[in-house]
Amino acid sequence: MATMPSDLLVTKKAFAFFQNACLQHRFIRSKDTSNIVERPERLRAVSIGLAAAIARLEEVVSSGAPNQTTSSSTAKQPDPNDLAEVMGRMKLEHDSPLFVRSPVSVVQSQATVDILNNPAVKFVHGDIEGDVYLENLKAWVKGSSDKVLNNECEIPEHLSQGDLYRRLFAICVTRPKRLILFLVCPESIDAIQGAVGTVCQAVDMVVASSRGASGASGASSTSRRAFVAIRPPGHHCGEDTPSGFCFINNVAVGAAHAHLQHGINRIVIVDIDLHHGNGTQSIVWQINEETYRKVLEQKGGGPPSSPGPQIYYGSTHDILSYPCEDGKLNLIQAASVSIHKSHGQYIENVHLQEYTSEEHFWDALYKHEYSKVLRRAEEFLDGTGGPGDDVMVFISCGMDACEHEYESMSRHNRKVPSSFYYRFAQDACALSEKYARGRVVSVLEGGYSDRALISGAMAHMCGLVDLPSSLKIEEDWWSVENLIKLEKLTKRRRGGRPSLGASGSAEPWLERTIAILEPLETLSVSSSRRPIASTPPTSMTLRDRTKVKTTSAAGSPSRPSTTPAKSTVPASASAPNASGTSGFEAGSTEGDATRTNKLPRVILRLGPKPPDTT
């Protein structure tokens, strides 16, 4: 068998991290989740996009490789009766060409942290007088079920109850004029701690790879880039101020972990969410302020100390959207800051604008405006020592600025084409190659419609993988036409499985997408089938139907439940809500599951009474 030339191998592979604990964070105030946008099903849409990206990339890499077999006259043909040989040829071992050609290493993370005892979490969210906020957060989560059962809101009064988007909201039962911004349930702490743990694991593996070591998964040292698919998001959360669906600032904690555990002292954070990462900017400001204070003290004759972290924060966002949509002076000022070196601060904010065409977007807006956040990052790194082993790049990757996002989410038309997530990833990786030994960790923030998440994740993953110049990524992979095919094929059917037809009925990349997605789906569905808190009692009652036996959609008897009237169907077991153009089923709740489980209704019609023959 001929060996594959090194120039045809993937130059820089990437990690894709998944964390099933993140599916446990959900809305429990009501069984109706049709208006909840920050939902577990977001992760399924991301998984579909990542699976499609991997399938496409594998296809390209395989097509660029030389013929791996010898001529038919000399090749040994397998004996179809030799089961061991046939099965052996199906293996994807680490030395198999198919494995080598895989451009992405998928990591099903089990990592978690204790937020009360993790140094990085305490570095960002701790307090000199004690971990007040972190302790409160755990208390809110622990008491959420009792609060809901008592028709109370699980979030304290002093925190904002308003939703981000006025047209997508759910009403709080005890304060009907306030809109939901936060949601927690007893399992939320597992999701929050799992999300943070996965980001820290990604940092560990990327740094280890860049320093010549193999990560826990055995990935080679070429894997220096990672995308972390987690929720809840984090960039709106400040030191002790949760907001905008965010409770812990995942990227800030990841940066702190890189500093404390790996000596990363210069950090670049670029935020491409539709909304300004006010929490991240606030945390960055405080950290830089403390580092600058120590520098001034040492210059004034103070005792030497270890260098503190210096962080650059750059953001592209819509100044008309949350958290600035109410026109509050302090929030608009913060979202418009541009300061470099003065007072030890390095911050650049760029406002998104409407674009009229693809040419206008790329030749005017992206080239001269949006890429400024990366040019300023270069200036920061050049001014603080240039390239080095103490540099790392993070991306707060929100996908809600995508052209396919809900209209009610992106109301001011400050959008970007899906290819933005591909090209920005490429440019961020180029920055990291020059300054940070190729280290990039991208973390999911916002993004709420299925099509926005699928296209954004697909494009972004392709941008994180560095292919040889002889191999080309086509940006029409995430065209609307291909997205429709992908949505149709991955649409949930009764029984919870994708709608894949007979083998060979779909294009090869679509079949490969399903093959990659299936094990991820199996793990995520099984992980989500944990008992969740009961919803509050309702004044409405249903007729007793206990004598009617039902079967599940798959045809097997339904599992007995100790509290059938109060439990809800796991959110990840149903299809995500979709945008108007998405192929997914509309948000399914317990009511939908009940309808699919009912037996067909049969009506017996009686004829006239027979005549009396007596």
Tokens of 436: 């940070």
The whole-angstrom separation of Cα 594 and Cα 614 is 50
Q: 10 Å Cβ neighbour count for 39?
A: 25
Give residue 213's pLDDT.
Answer: 67
Three-state SS at 279: helix
Phi, psi of 72 (to 5 degrees): -65, -25
Whose CA is closest to 482, among 405, 419, 550, 429? 419
Give residue 571's pLDDT.
Answer: 36
Residue-wise over 4-19: b if at least 16 C-beta within 10 A, else e?
beeebbbbbbbbbbbb
Task: Find the Cα–Cα–Cα–Cα dihedral 42, 46, 48, 52, rounded to 10°.
Answer: 160
Quickly tell me which residue has 């390095």 as its tokens.
Answer: 346
Upper half-sphere CA count for residue 28 (Cβ side, 13 Å): 31
DSSP 8-state secondary structure symbol assigned to residue 295: H
The whole-angstrom separation of Cα 123 and Cα 239 is 9
Q: In what order do the strands lie in the sheet with 225-229?
A: 104-108, 14-18, 225-229, 440-444, 391-397, 266-271, 310-317, 346-351, 338-340
Three-state SS at 339: strand
Over residues 345-399, the pLDDT tens digits come to 999 999 999 999 999 999 999 999 999 999 999 999 999 999 999 999 999 999 9
The whole-angstrom separation of Cα 333 and Cα 348 is 12
DSSP 8-state secondary structure symbol assigned to residue 559: P
| H helices present in 396-507, as ranges | 419-435, 450-464, 480-490
Which CATH code fits 6-69+100-527?
A: 3.40.800.20
Give residue 422's pLDDT.
Answer: 99
Give residue 542's pLDDT.
Answer: 46
Whose CA is closest to 183, among 226, 123, 231, 240? 231
The whole-angstrom separation of Cα 132 and Cα 137 is 9
For the chain, list residues with pLDDT below 70: 1-11, 28, 65-101, 148, 154, 160-184, 213-221, 493-505, 522-614
- Which residues neighbour 92 within 8 Å (Cβ) at sequence distance 6 or greater? 98, 99, 102
Q: 10 Å Cβ neighbour count for 575?
A: 24
Do the strands 346-351 and 338-340 form a parallel or antiparallel pair, or are they unpaired?
A: antiparallel
Give residue 178's pLDDT.
Answer: 37
- Which residues neighbour 394 within 8 Å (Cβ) at sequence distance 6 or greater? 251, 254, 255, 267, 268, 269, 270, 440, 441, 442, 443
DSSP 8-state secondary structure symbol assigned to residue 64: H
| H helices present in 35-149, as ranges | 41-64, 83-90, 97-101, 119-125, 132-149
> Got the DSSP string for 168-184?
S--B-SS-TTSB-----
Tokens of 133: 């906020």
> Got the DSSP string for 197-263?
HHHHHHHHHHHHHHTT---TT---TT--EEEEE-SS--TT--SS--BTTBSS-HHHHHHHHHHHHH-
CB 513 within 8 A of CB 7: no
Where does 439-577 show beta strands of DSSP type E?
440-444
Q: 10 Å Cβ neighbour count for 371?
A: 16
- Find the length of the chain: 614
Whose CA is closest to 335, among 351, 353, 311? 351
- Angle, helices 419-435 vs 450-464, to 10°: value is 30
Give residue 347's pLDDT.
Answer: 99
